Structure 1
Amino acid sequence: MKYINLGASGLKVSEVSLGTMTFGREANEEESVKILNYYLKNGGNFIDTANVYAEGRSEEILGRALKGIRDEIVLATKAFFPTSEGPNNRGASRENILKAVEDSMKRLQTNYIDLYQIHCWDDFTPIEETMSALDYLVKKGYVRYIGISNYSGWQIEKALRTSEVYGYEKIISVQMQYSLVVRDIEMEVVPVCQSEGLSIMAWGPLGGGFLSGKYKAGEKPKEGRIAKASNDWEEAWNKRATEKNFKILGKLEEISKNRNKTVPQVALNWIISQNIIPILGARTLEQIKDNMGAAGWNLTQQELNELNEVSKLEEKYPYRFIRSANER
């Protein structure tokens, strides 16, 4: 397993993270612990959860499972989405952040969180209030590093400049949806992160399961994450079952066969090759065993070129205008 610095910090994390949204939901506690132990045994040290995952059960399972080894783990959690009724039990306000971090630490049975992330941009709370609250948590020692998730490029810059102006702690990472079938962050988010020295963690690295290799054109799934997703959700079947996406899947199948790898391993390795950390979300021990096989090897430049070409974004204004104007 390769270890890398998270953002511009000295914090070392494994090149693949373990996502625990399935813990206490698709995976019961016994299976969740098996998944966790396999990940740790094979060199992983970066665990991601959130206060809303399985209504807090994900954090509770981790709290029990990490007893005795807590200090060896880089533990990340998030807050934003509502955990109970009431107008102040959601968002990125100081009120919600301070309460949420306290509740998460209780469930996780820890007195500190390595990486605390705001789960989504908040239209109703001034960014100055959010960054001030996060800075307070770092100064108090409750949180060691801070990050954000599901922000646009200008919103990331807004958070960074706010911290710069007021002398607040700066974010070191962003967590975004990213896969061969969802490359939208390459337009704004990736350039911002590269310029500012932020690490990117990819949720949905297999497109919600579409890149698992088990789906065929014209055959709507009857089970799994995609089958259960509502049509307006990011990973819904109607958003995945496109001609372009099946071409991507076909290229993955071709490369996986040639390399004696599985389709998910190739799709995840492509993300690693972009210097982005894939968050592995497994429902079973078999799935995490397969997904962990994405680390420790490299796709060839030719294979990367082929995957980049079949999945490339449509160039839109102003990006095509800027590129054209700067050609020499």
Structure 2
Amino acid sequence: MDYRLLGRSGCAVSAYALGTMTFGSETDEETSFAQLDAFVEAGGTLLDCADVYGAGAAETIVGRWLAQRPADVVDRMVIVTKGRFPATSVFGAEGTSRRHLRRALEASLRRLGRGHVDMYMVHSWDPLTPLEETLGFLDDAVRAGLISYPGLSNYLGWQVQKAADLAQARGLAAPVALQPSYSLLVREIEWEIAPAAAHNGLGLLCWSPLGGGWLTGKYTQDHRPVGATRLGEDPGRGLEAYDRRAANPRTWQVLEAAAKVAADRGATMAQVALAWVAQRPGVSSVLLGARSVPQLLENLGAAELTLSAEEMEHLTAVSAPDAAPWPYGADGVEQRTRDLPQR
């Protein structure tokens, strides 16, 4: 396992992180404990939680696991959790106001059995709460010793920039990480979001690096998925809905390219897809999410795989997202670079 700094902070984290979204919902406590133990055995240190995962069950499971493990294991863990969305049915229990985030953080700490977490992330942009209020709360939480670092999740490029500018102008604790969706199938963050993060020193913690299971190779062009997979249970599920992705020829071109590299390297498609994300600029850690221990162990095998420059270039070219000529296509790139000063 490689280790990297979390953005511009001095906090070192494992290049692959364990996401806990399935804990308490798709994965029972016993299997969750086994995943956590396997992750630690592989050298993993970054645990990613959120109060809405399993309606709080994921944090509770992680808290129980931490309570039963020796101090040297617990001390190695970098604990991340998030708040923004309603984790309970209480009216108004959502958003990024001081009121909600204070209550959400206190509840997360109780479930985790901790007095402090290493990073607390705003789970998504809140259009109703002034950003000054949100950043002020995060700064207060740092000063109170409740969190070490603030972070952002699912922010757009202009939102990242606004948060960074406000934090700098007001002398507030600055976010050190951004959590976006990023994979061979979802690369649009490269247009604005990733550059904004890099410019302001935010490391990327990438979720859904396997494109909701597509990059494992388990879905085919000829048959709609069935059975015990995410899309088998619900083909219209979320961003990775089968009909939407299957209708795009680029999807199958990317899968074919990843399968070819996997065959050449004696690896799985999932490991190739994960390694590609891990080797992209600005990435601090790649989030692994699994229902079972065998799934997790296969994914952790990506830590042993380093793609060559030629493999990276090929996968990057094949997976280039469709873009209109302007502003992100060839015409826009040409115009933006034409008059750059010569160095």
Would the TM-score normalized by the shorter structure come out above 0.5? yes
Where 1:36 maps in the other structure, the secondary structure is helix
- Deviation at 1:165? 1.5
CA contact under 8 A between 2:235 and 2:243: conserved in structure 1? no
- Deviation at 1:260? 0.2
The aligned residue for residue 200 of structure 2 is 196
The aligned residue for residue 44 of structure 1 is 44
Task: Describe the shift of the 1:64–1:122 C-alpha distance in structure 2 as closer, same or farther (beyond 3 A).
Answer: same
Q: Distance in 1 between matches of 2:234 and 2:157?
A: 27
The aligned residue for residue 55 of structure 1 is 55
Q: Which moved more, 1:258-267 or 1:20-29?
A: 20-29
- Which digits, 9 at most, give the CA deviation of each residue in 1:213-256, with x for residues without a partner? 11110211113123344737212222322321111111111110
- Deviation at 1:192? 1.0
- Which residue among 309, 318, 323 is the counterpart of 2:333? 323
- Which residue among 281, 288, 292 is the counterpart of 1:280? 288
In structure 2, list runs of 5 or more residues that go unmatched.
none
TM-score, normalization: structure 1?
A: 0.96
- Deviation at 1:323? 2.1
Q: Distance in 2 between matches of 1:202 and 1:195?
A: 17
- Deviation at 1:164? 1.1
Paired letter, 1:107: R
Q: Distance in 1 between matches of 2:173 and 2:235?
A: 38
Q: Distance in 2 between matches of 1:142 and 1:229?
A: 39
The aligned residue for residue 32 of structure 1 is 32
Q: Distance in 2 between matches of 1:43 and 1:278?
A: 14
CA contact under 8 A between 2:225 and 2:235: conserved in structure 1? no
CA contact under 8 A between 1:227 and 1:237: conserved in structure 2? no
CA contact under 8 A between 1:227 and 1:236: conserved in structure 2? no
Q: Distance in 2 between matches of 1:188 and 1:16?
A: 24
The aligned residue for residue 236 of structure 1 is 241
Q: Distance in 1 between matches of 2:271 and 2:322?
A: 26
Paired letter, 1:233: G
Aligned CA RMSD, in angstroms, stands at: 1.4
Q: Distance in 2 between matches of 1:59 and 1:117?
A: 14
Task: Describe the shift of the 1:93–1:229 C-alpha distance in structure 2 as closer, same or farther (beyond 3 A).
Answer: farther
In structure 1, list runs of 5 or more residues that go unmatched.
none
Q: Distance in 1 between matches of 2:140 and 2:232?
A: 42
Q: Which moved more, 1:226-235 or 1:2-11?
A: 226-235
Aligned length: 328
- Which residue among 59, 82, 85 is the counterpart of 1:81? 85
Paired letter, 2:301: G
Percent identity, please: 38
Q: Distance in 1 between matches of 2:4 and 2:334?
A: 35
* 2:276 pairs with 1:267: no
The aligned residue for residue 181 of structure 1 is 185
Paired letter, 2:96: A
* 2:122 pairs with 1:113: no
